[in-house]
Structure 1
Amino acid sequence: MRTTVGIIGGGPAGLLLARLLDNAGIDNVVLESRDRSYVEQRQRAGILEQPTVDTLRAAGAGERMDREGLVHHGIELRFGRRAHRMDFPSLTGGRGVLVYAQTEVVKDLIALRLAGGGPLLFTAEVRAVDGADTDQPVIHFRHDDQDKTLHCDYVVGCDGFHGVAREAIPATVRTSYERTYPYSWLGILAEAPPVYDELVYAHSERGFALASVRSSSVSRLYLQVPCDTDLADWPDERIWDELDARFALDEDPGWKLERGQVTSKAVLPMRSHVTEPMRYGRVFLAGDAAHIVPPTGAKGLNLAAADVTVLARALIRQRDTGSTQLLDAYSDTCLRRVWRAEHFSHLMTTTLHTDPAHSPFDTRLQLSQLARFASSPHAAADLADNYTGLPLPQ
């Protein structure tokens, strides 16, 4: 097999890149290790920044998103048992975010790919990438019980943190930066209508909580828990009781969540990770293969979309003009945005969560930062600017 761009990973990053390349007439092959059902049901982020929404629309992948997505014009911060709303349009010149689950983005992109006839191989397990520093890198994979090879002009690793693409960058060249957090999230999906109009981020002496949305009838909710949490210790009733306790308001003591059937439950670790560089020879990394952010800032899917948008433009420029200028700048261009997102996500995480090692002094610092977001137009504008999405590099 031979193609111009071999894409490892059929998640949102790989599928969006494939769509952008298809629209430009650049042939590509997508290799995904899981089956279609697994990929379409993999629960991840649900907040799309304005640049991500714009990219999906321009790619012809926004019809159902615009019809079913929920526009949010702000978020609510709760701390000190009081509520404070951040109004994004007034702080950013009109920008907001769209709530549309990653599962739905993936379904839309898969449907478009299959309708267009582009190669999308599920259950294709990539074993290795050879020749990253040559003009003809090769992907070795197994599909339909056969060992196969895909010869490419370029290879793009969109295969996540545990994928093989990053290993194509020699250890002597590759540098990893990482931070782990001393807490996790217990996340649930529940058939319960949200009683809030926008996402609610709560700082509490009991720990952090987040109320999110999947639809008008489905809630996505999170609790900060210890890293060694056993789900067996958290029956549904205990989860609902703890959520209500952390979202409690002095100004509205009767405020409670709408309870419903919990359809999924999982403990999610929290970490930050960046691999540099994001390009070696003709192998490029995108999305979680290159960087991971804690979910507090809602940046994971959006960073992946930004990566592949930058890369698609660079590949199109090379095809049209022969210039490799944008390809050569890819890693530096993306990393500037990645580190900005890492900083914002780290700030949101460490400001809102209760660290087991925190002293009362540390807690007062957190409350001071949250009060500044709530009272200072400049601090609020910076939060809103980062949350709704910084402009993509042109």
Structure 2
Amino acid sequence: MKRRLIAAAVTLLLVGGAVGSAAADAPSERPAQADAASVQVPAGVTAGVAVFDRQTGAFTEQLNSSATFRSASVVKLLLALDYLWDRGPGYVVPAADRAWLEPMLRSSKDSAADNYWSDNGGSAIITRMVQRLGLRDTAPPPATHPGYWGYTALSARDTVAIYRYLLDSAPAPVRDFVMGNLRKSTRCASDGFDQHFGVAGAFEKPWAVKQGWSGSYEKGTCGPAGTTSATRTASAAPAAAADVDLTRPALHSTGTVGAGDRSIVAVFTLHPVGTSYGKAYTDIGRLTRSLNVPGATRPAGWWYGTWSDHVNVRPNASTGNAAITQLPAGVEVLVGCQARGEEVQVPPYTNDWWAYLPQYGGWISNIYISSPDNKMPDVKDC
């Protein structure tokens, strides 16, 4: 039974905020393997972007690259480097310290950053790293919020400089430790947010990523059904602080892409107040996919919007097994193929087609896909 008249209306309400105008304007169904063009910033988004090709030694993209954003968890790169500084000659990391460093880098665990920040001088950490790396735009959090490490000011070009130090100048054990952990980035962050947006979603591996998010987003639901976390909020921020916006929801994606870490990518974004996580996730994904990133391989498939909250990703085309994870509400997903499976009902509509999501290694019912028919018209059968 067709379900699309209501689904389309629901899409405008639930996904219209989640996938933006393109969900209605159609291009969300464009093939995922389309070639990248110049930077495409979705409506309402403020962005700072830098892409550096290490093979040629030149930037391939720069957009507001010196503009400063609150760093959110991207600053954890500097916390890790500060810890590792002058620990030679062997740069051995004791097991007790690995226990907080590894989850801080892989799954962005905040409590690890809290402890290191409070025990090692707070803002003095940033001052030390600015001097050591010659950063031009980076600054400690505002004096009104000294404990808010995520309010450190950071730019796209300074983020490229941090990665260039890691890859080209840092002692090999430091490089291997930090980059090795970034290559093991977990889809589900420690606080329940799906952190494989931006670079991690736009390109095939090999990549290494350190992501950041900050704002009044709804609770994260990444992981088995029912997993939640505390809401991220920036509402306690001061009204103004040295040109760094501490109010609008932030979502940042940074890292390296391609064999030999050929390209360094830094994408910083701010979104209108009230933007859902799925909408911000979708917008930074579209922006990142538009970039010229030498050495990158783009995943095959088709990008489609979704609707509804807490959509379960299943290990097969059936509701009989426990969910692998849940999608951010209304997020755009890469569909690899589709197949018939268990019939799903969202009264008064039914659908027995399922979409395979290769980046999740699982399936969602097509009833939650923003498409005019039960079967997506351009997606191949599995």
Going by fraction, where is helix more abundant, 1 or 2?
Answer: 1
TM-score higher than 0.5 here?
no
Normalising by the residue count of structure 1, what TM-score does the alignment of the two structures yield? Answer: 0.22
Going by fraction, where is strand more abundant, 1 or 2?
Answer: 1
Normalising by the residue count of structure 2, what TM-score does the alignment of the two structures yield? Answer: 0.23
